[in-house]
Structures are given as C-alpha cells and as structure tokens.
Structure 1
Amino acid sequence: MIYGYARVSTYGQDLAQQLAQLTAAGCVKIYREKISGATAERPQLKRAIGALDDGDVLMVTATDRLARNTRDLLNILHAVEEAGAGFRSLAEPMVDTTSQFAEVIIAVLGIAASWERERITERTAAGRIQARARGVKFGRKTALTPHQRAEALDRLAAGDTQRTVAALFNVSQATISRLVGR
C-alpha cells in the first residue's frame, strides 16, 4: 500500500497541491500536517510511519516536506526501513529506497549528513570564537554578585552556617558550599 505524507509549515499555507500530486501518484491514505518541520514532534508523521507494514511505501512530494536536514531525513528513513517499508519522493526520483539502488542512496545521504554535521560544528565553533572576541560571557549567570559573595564569606567566617547564609541570600546551600570550595 502507498501512504502519502503532506506538510506545510504554517496554517496559512494550503496542502491542496501536495494532496493532488500524492493522489495522482497512487497514495491510498495521506497523512496531513500543518506544523514546522523543524520540530521532531510531528504526530501525523509518527502515525504514517506507525501504519507502515512490510512492502508499503511512504511517499512525499519533496524531501523538504519530510525533513529539514539530512540527519532528520536519515532518522525517518531508518524508521521507515525498520517497518519493512520503502520511501519515495516525487520531486527527487533518485530518493527512492524501493529501487535496486536503495543502499547507495542511503549511503550517499549518510555521507551528506556527516558533512552537514561537520559544517554545523565548524560554524558553531566559529560563532563562539566571534562571540568571545566581542566579550560575550558563556554559561549560567552567577547566583550571587561579587558583593554578595564577599558578604556571604564574611558571614561564614563569623560563624554562620552555610544553610543560614543560603537562606539569607535566597540561594541553595550547594551554591554557598561551592563558594567556600573556591
């Protein structure tokens, strides 16, 4: 059986064109979703994959309707494969896991996902370096100001307990304990 999956990103968009293409391609049931592909929480996609049995096909009009990036696409293809089904894209005929070249296609997509991951890592690292150069501080903000830290240490030196000092500054005892450990 051929199942279709159609998705638009916003409620203002229309699924009509995708539905017409999927119906013309022979889809028996089409799962429709009006939600961003950036989120992994796509209930209709999960239902479509859950409905797949051995020999079924999940079809989309284009891979960008299914996944935002190669890694996401590979995860979805893996779930489809686990169900014993195949996958086809109408806009990209080479993305067809029902053909004899299925393993080659998945291998190429895997390589693309690996390169994509490396590029993301490189861009993220470069962005961090630029941000540090601009003086951006990373990590959580401290719970106590420098003045509060000094006062807390003074109170501890005067004999107050960590629990009392923590309650005074409305922080956890662990925060005061870390302050003492420095």
Structure 2
Amino acid sequence: MIFGYARVSTEAQDLANQRAQLAAAGCERIFADKITSTTADRPQLKKLMATLAAGDLVIIPAADRLARDLTDLLILARDMHTAGAGLCSLAEPVVDTSGDFAEVVLAVLGVSAKLERRRILDRTARGRADAKAKGVKFGRKPKLTHFQQREALQRLDTGETQRSVARNFNVSQATIARIHRP
C-alpha cells in the first residue's frame, strides 16, 4: 500500500497543499499531523509506523515534514526499512529507500547525520567560546551577590552558625556551606 505523511507546525497552517501533492503521487491513505516536529509525540506518525507492512511505501512531500534533522530522518527511515517498507521524498529524490539502493541511501543518511551533528556541536562550541570571550555568564544566577557572600563569610568568621546566616539571607544552609568551603 502507498501511504502519505504530511505535517504542519501549527493548527493555523493548512495541510491542503501537502495532501494534494501526496494524492497526485498516488497515495492511497494519508496520515497528517498538525504539530511541531521537535516533539516526538506525533500521533498520526505513530499510527502510520504501526500500520506499515512489508512492501508498503511511505511518500512525504519533503524530508523536513517527516523529521526535524538528519538523525531523526535516519531513525525513521531505518524503522520503515526494518518493517519492510520504503520511504520516498517528493522534494528530495535522493531520499528513496524503496529501491535496490535502500541500504546505500540509509548509509549516506547515516554519514550525513553524523556530519550534521558534528557541525552543530562545532557551531555551538564556537558560539559559547565567543560569548565567554565577550563576558557572557553561563549557568544559574548566584543566590547571593558578591557583597552578600563576603558579609556571610564575615558572619561565619565571627562564630555565627551556617543555619543562622542562611536564615538571615533567606537561602538554604547548603548555599552557605558552598561559599564557606575552606
């Protein structure tokens, strides 16, 4: 059986164009979600995956309608391949696991996904390094300002207990203990 899968990110968007493309491509049954691809909970995609059997074909208007990134696309394509079904993208003819080259396509998608992941990690690291160089602080804001920390340490030095100092600054005793480490 030939299935189609369409997706738009919000309820306000229309699926009509994607449905028309899939119908023109010969899809006998179309599953459609109105939900962002960043969530793994796509009910119609889950139904489609549960429906697949050997010899089935899933047609998508474009790869980004099925998956948020290459890794996600690779996982879904492999799951379909394991079920005996093929995957074909109308916008990206190279994404076609329905033919003799299914294993090759999956291998290329796998390598591409690894490269994409590496590029994302590199860009993130460069962005973080640039931000640090500009003085951007990462992590949670401290519970106590530097002035409050100095005052808390002075109180501890005069013999006041951690519990008492913590109560006075309206923080936990653990917060005071962290700044009081010898």
Determine the structure 1 residue equivalent to 2:104.
104
1:76 aligns with 2:39: no
Determine the structure 1 residue equivalent to 2:142.
142
Aligned pairs for 1:17-166 within 5 A: 17-166=17-166
Determine the structure 2 residue equivalent to 1:7.
7
Q: Which amino acid is the alignment partner of residue 144 of structure 2?
A: L
- Structure 1 unmatched runs, 5+: none
1:69-125 Cα deviation digits (max 9, x unpaired): 212211222332343432121233331212110010011111111111121122112
Report if the CA contact (8 A) 2:5-2:66 is conserved.
Answer: yes
* Counterpart Cα distance in 2 of 1:48 and 1:32: 9
Deviation at 1:60, TM superposition (A): 0.7
Detail structure 1 runs of 4+ shifted over 4 Å in the superposition: none
Number of residue pairs the alignment of both structures matches: 182
1:34-76 Cα deviation digits (max 9, x unpaired): 2233443333222322322333322211212112321221122
Deviation at 1:33, TM superposition (A): 1.6
Deviation at 1:146, TM superposition (A): 1.1
* Counterpart Cα distance in 2 of 1:20 and 1:123: 38
Percent identity for Structure 1 against Structure 2: 58
**TM-score between both structures, scaled by the size of structure 1:** 0.87
Deviation at 1:12, TM superposition (A): 3.7
* Counterpart Cα distance in 2 of 1:8 and 1:25: 19
